[in-house]
Amino acid sequence: MRRVQYLAATLLLAACSGPAEQEPVENTLSADPVVAEDEEVNLDIWLERLEVGSRELYSARDEVLASVDLAEGDIVADIGAGTGLYSLLFADAVGSSGHVYAVDIEPLFLDLINRRAEDLGLYNITAVLGRQNDVSLPVQSVDVVFVADTYHYFENREEIMRTVMNALKPGGSLIIVDYDIIPDAVRPQDKSHIRFGKAGVIAELEYIGFEIGTDVTVEGLSENYFVRFRKR
């Protein structure tokens, strides 16, 4: 269980190349999720832990969605999609002319997203199995990349975010939502592994070449920051 939780939260991407006209990626899932024999996973438990258990990101989901400011027809990549909370919201927001790539490295969660999408009648979601050294998305294929509660897990953030930049169309948006570190504030135990906050993320992404956008305040978020960047 611990390994699955770690995998679900840590999507490792790497550089990709190819022509902009590359065909859309296909759904990489098999019919059944791949889970080690010694891991008995109850999907209801994971929904509780990764959605309701995320507190702000669950309770403020409508406000976050509004701040992402999607338009009908947009193509969105939800990086570290987990149980698909935001992927499903995005799919409804972009409509049948838009598309959502729900990216995660745990097939269990991708299978869950497929099932939830089918139950809701959403057929504009592609579950993408992310792999180390493979972003699994075509170059210049998405309008918006959304990374929630995942960025601080990346081990090689510069390499990964350069890959994300490659996947974005020119002028596309990158949105980071993550836990902020307040000086002198006591962090809960489950956040003790986080080593940098909003200021560090902005510095890293500006160094890579992203352009910081207008500061966004999202009602309902107090522990987490919401930052929008743009691909020049």
SS in 3 state form for 23-44?
Answer: CCCCCCCCCCCCCCCCCCCCHH
pLDDT of residue 181: 65
Mean pLDDT across 30-50:
47
**Residue (of 208, 191, 201) closest to 228 by Cα position:** 201
Which of 48-52, 119-123, 200-204 shows the lowest mean pLDDT across its residues?
Answer: 48-52
The answer on pLDDT for 153 being more than 70 is: yes
Q: Distance of CA 148 to CAs 20, 42, 59, 81, Å?
A: 26, 23, 14, 8
Which pLDDT tens digit goes with each residue over 9-39?
Answer: 333 333 233 333 434 444 433 333 334 433 4
**Residue 142: alpha-carbon gap to chain centroid:** 13
Choose among 187, 114, 191, 103: nearest CA to 147.
Answer: 103
pLDDT at 53 exceeding the cut of 70? no
Closest CA relative to residue 88, chosen from 80, 78, 75, 97: 78
CA dihedral 180, 181, 185, 191 (to 10 degrees): 80
Task: Pick 134 or 213 by higher pLDDT.
Answer: 213
- For 36-40, 98-102, 176-180, 187-191, which range has the lowest pLDDT when averaged over its residues? 36-40
Answer for the pair 150, 80: CB distance below 8 angstroms, yes or no.
yes
Mean pLDDT on 106-131: 92
> 108-122, 145-159, 173-187: which has the minimum mean pLDDT?
173-187
Give, in words, the CATH class of 2-20+29-231. Answer: alpha beta
Q: Which residue, chain included where needed, has tokens 């999202």?
A: 218
pLDDT at 225 over 60: yes
Q: How confident is the model at residue 186 (pLDDT cuts 50, 70, 90)?
A: low
State CA 165 to chain mean position distance: 14
Domains of the chain by residue range: 2-20+29-231
Per the prediction, the chain carries an average pLDDT of: 78
Q: What is the pLDDT of residue 47?
A: 58
pTM for the predicted model, two decimal places? 0.78
Local structure of 128: helix, strand or coil: strand
- Residue pair 231/210 in contact by the 8 Å Cβ criterion: yes
Show Cβ contacts of residue 114 under 8 Å, excluding neighbours closer than 6 positions: 27, 29, 125, 127
How far apart CA 180 and CA 201 sit, in angstroms, is 10
Give the pLDDT of residue 36: 41
CA distance 183 to 215: 20
pLDDT at position 185 over 80? no
In angstroms, the CA 76 to CA 78 distance is 6
pLDDT digits (tens, 9 = 90+) for 192-222: 556 678 889 999 999 999 999 988 899 999 8
Backbone angles phi and psi of 183, in degrees to 5: -55, 135
More confident residue, 10 or 169: 169
- Residue 200 structure tokens: 């560090």
Task: Tell me what pLDDT residue 44 has.
Answer: 58
| Residue 78 predicted with pLDDT over 50 | yes
